């Protein structure tokens, strides 16, 4: 009986290791499955921790400003996204909640308080809190359950798109056949000349969470192109994090 118990424990451990390994298997080939199943599997990969405490390297280029900085990212799931950019000294700080955006720059002695107009201006497209949170987590920024999807296999990804695209924009989501997080998502608004492309070239398995190790953002509005590339340096989940935010006195308000 004792040997049977040891055998069962060994099988369970082996199976767990095997499943974890297969989650990140780059050699998995996309086989034909229904769009409904792809949607269900992608939704099942939702982020299951309470907090994120990460350090990223970010490269920013909007045609006028080109710089590389370190970014500290803190997330309290569904409540707060806190960001701090540094390059020897603090470059910016931001706190984003479902209802507000706060931002200030110690270099320019300026600040912003208001709605998501600041982020919309930066990215060249409309975005809300949940969409921004999903962007950082490798999840679709639109609710895939709201519309019936169709699926095609392209470049070994399951590419989802609504059977009936919205009047104002087209949406496409490339889902990885191994871990079912996103390889890429694109939102195109031809009427406004806007396009947002987000690629996830690499993921990392951390505490049983498949977390983006690289995020490449391209936001185009008319002829203006903004690129932001993130590279994960470190991350911890479910830790005590401080998201306090106070705009220093004497800063000038930015009006959009």
Helix (H) or strand (E) holding 170: strand 170-175
Q: pLDDT per residue over 45-104, tens digit each?
A: 999 999 999 999 999 998 888 999 999 999 999 999 999 999 988 899 999 999 999 999
Residue 84 in contact with residue 92, Cβ under 8 Å? yes
Q: Which residues pair with 110 in a beta bridge?
A: 105, 252
Higher pLDDT among residues 35 and 17, named by residue = 35
State pLDDT tens for residues 100-114: 999 999 999 999 998
Per-residue pLDDT tens for 186-233? 998 888 888 899 999 999 999 999 999 999 999 988 888 999 999 999
> According to the model, what pLDDT value does residue 255 have?
81
CB atoms within 10 A of CB 152: 13
Say how far apart CA 188 and CA 169 lie, in whole Å: 5
Instruction: State the pTM of this model.
Output: 0.86
Quick check: helix, strand or coil at residue 79? coil
What's the token pair of residue 199? Answer: 């690629």
Would you state the pLDDT for residue 222? 87
State in Å, rounded, how far the first CA of the chain is from the last one. 73
The pLDDT value given to residue 17: 37
Give percent above pLDDT 70 in the chain: 88
Q: What is the pLDDT of residue 16?
A: 37
What is the arithmetic mean of pLDDT over 243-249? Answer: 95
Hey, what domains does the chain have and what are their CATH numbers? 29-245 (2.50.20.10)
The number of residues making up the chain comes to 256
CA 139, chain centre distance (Å): 6
Residue 149 scores a pLDDT above 70: yes
Q: How far apart are CA 225 and CA 65, in angstroms?
A: 11
């Amino acid at each position: 009986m004792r040997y049977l118990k040891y055998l069962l424990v060994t099988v369970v451990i082996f199976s767990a290791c095997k499943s974890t390994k297969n989650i990140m298997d780059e050699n998995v080939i996309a086989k034909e499955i229904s769009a409904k199943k792809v949607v269900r599997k992608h939704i099942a990969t939702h982020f299951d921790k309470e907090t994120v405490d990460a350090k990223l390297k970010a490269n920013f280029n909007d045609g006028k400003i080109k710089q590389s900085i370190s970014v500290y990212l803190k997330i309290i799931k569904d409540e707060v996204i806190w960001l701090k950019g540094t390059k020897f000294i603090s470059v910016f700080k931001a706190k984003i909640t479902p209802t507000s955006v706060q931002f200030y720059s110690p270099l320019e002695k300026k600040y912003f308080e208001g709605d998501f107009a600041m982020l919309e201006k930066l990215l060249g497209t409309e975005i809300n809190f949940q969409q921004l949170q999903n962007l950082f987590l490798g999840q679709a920024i639109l609710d895939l359950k709201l519309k019936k999807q169709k699926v095609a296999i392209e470049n070994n990804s399951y590419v989802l798109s609504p059977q009936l695209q919205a009047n104002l924009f087209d949406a496409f989501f490339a889902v990885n056949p191994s871990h079912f997080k996103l390889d890429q998502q694109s939102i195109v608004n031809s009427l406004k000349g806007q396009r947002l492309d987000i690629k996830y070239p690499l993921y990392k398995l951390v505490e049983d969470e498949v977390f983006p190790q690289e995020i490449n953002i391209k936001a185009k509005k008319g002829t203006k192109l903004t690129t932001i590339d993130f590279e994960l340096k470190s991350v911890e989940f479910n830790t005590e994090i401080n998201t306090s935010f106070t705009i220093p006195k004497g800063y000038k308000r930015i009006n959009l």
